[in-house]
Amino acid sequence: MEKEEFQKAFVLACRFLSDTIGCPKIYTEEEDIQGCTSDGENCEKEDQWECWQHYFLERVSTEEVCRICGCTQDNACPGGCWWIKEDLCSSCYEKLKSQSAS
């Protein structure tokens, strides 16, 4: 898949989340989201997809996330997984291996 398509998919997902949930503050413990005007209750920001973008970009810069499935240290794949590389988990590694073998 093209990088641009991934980027579009990312911003689309953020819009979807803002439409369905609202501001990420509602669902996350994140205290400090750039540009977010939430005081713990409602975010007054009109473009709440921006809150989601800041939230996710902040997360990938501060914690390890699998580049394929998006699992993290606190949210591993079903059955458990571990890091093969800093951005590749064992479940995805196994999948890649079996795909390239066939």
Binding mask 62-101 for Zn ion (x = CB under 5 A): ----x-xx-x-----x---x-------x-xx---------
DSSP label at residue 65:
B
- Residue 40 Rama label (left phi>0; alpha psi -120 to 50; beta): left
User: How many residues contact Zn ion, by CB under 5 A?
Assistant: 15
14 binds Zn ion (CB under 5 A): no
d(CA 32, CA 10): 21
- Tokens, residue 76: 């591993």
Chain-centroid distance, C-alpha 53: 9
17 binds Zn ion (CB under 5 A): no
* Minimum distance, C-beta of residue 61 to Zn ion, in the bound complex (Å): 18
- Give residues in contact with Zn ion (CB under 5 A): 23, 36, 38, 43, 45, 51, 66, 68-69, 71, 77, 81, 89, 91-92
